[in-house]
Amino acid sequence: MSKASDLREMSDEQLTFSLKEARQELFRLRFQAATEKLDAPSNLTKLRREIARILTIQGQRQTAAGPAA
């Protein structure tokens, strides 16, 4: 899990890659939760927050870049 300051230092490509990995991990954890093999249910919440942080930073960068006309 990364802090927002660590995520802000990443490039756009790195953020996209981190988002893809986080979503795949969330998918796997949801399957484990469904089959009752999940060790730490708190990981679901942590991962969802991580995804939200990444999406927020990407949105801020798009807003700062201005409208793509």
Whichever domain contains 11, its CATH number is 1.10.287.310
pLDDT-based confidence at 65, cuts 50/70/90?
Answer: confident
Can you give the pLDDT at residue 1?
60
The domain tally of the chain equals: 1
> Which residues have C-beta within 8 Å of that of residue 29, sequence separation ≥ 6?
38, 43, 44, 47
**DSSP for 35-59, written as a single string:** TT--S-THHHHHHHHHHHHHHHHHH
69 assigned to some structural domain: no
pTM attached to this predicted model = 0.85
44 assigned to some structural domain: yes
- Tens digit of each residue's pLDDT (9 = 90 or more) over 21-46: 999 999 999 999 899 888 888 999 99
> Which residues have C-beta within 8 Å of that of residue 44, sequence separation ≥ 6?
26, 29, 30, 33, 38
12 assigned to some structural domain: yes
List the domain range (segments joined by +) for residue 22: 4-64
What is the percent of the chain where pLDDT is above 70?
A: 94
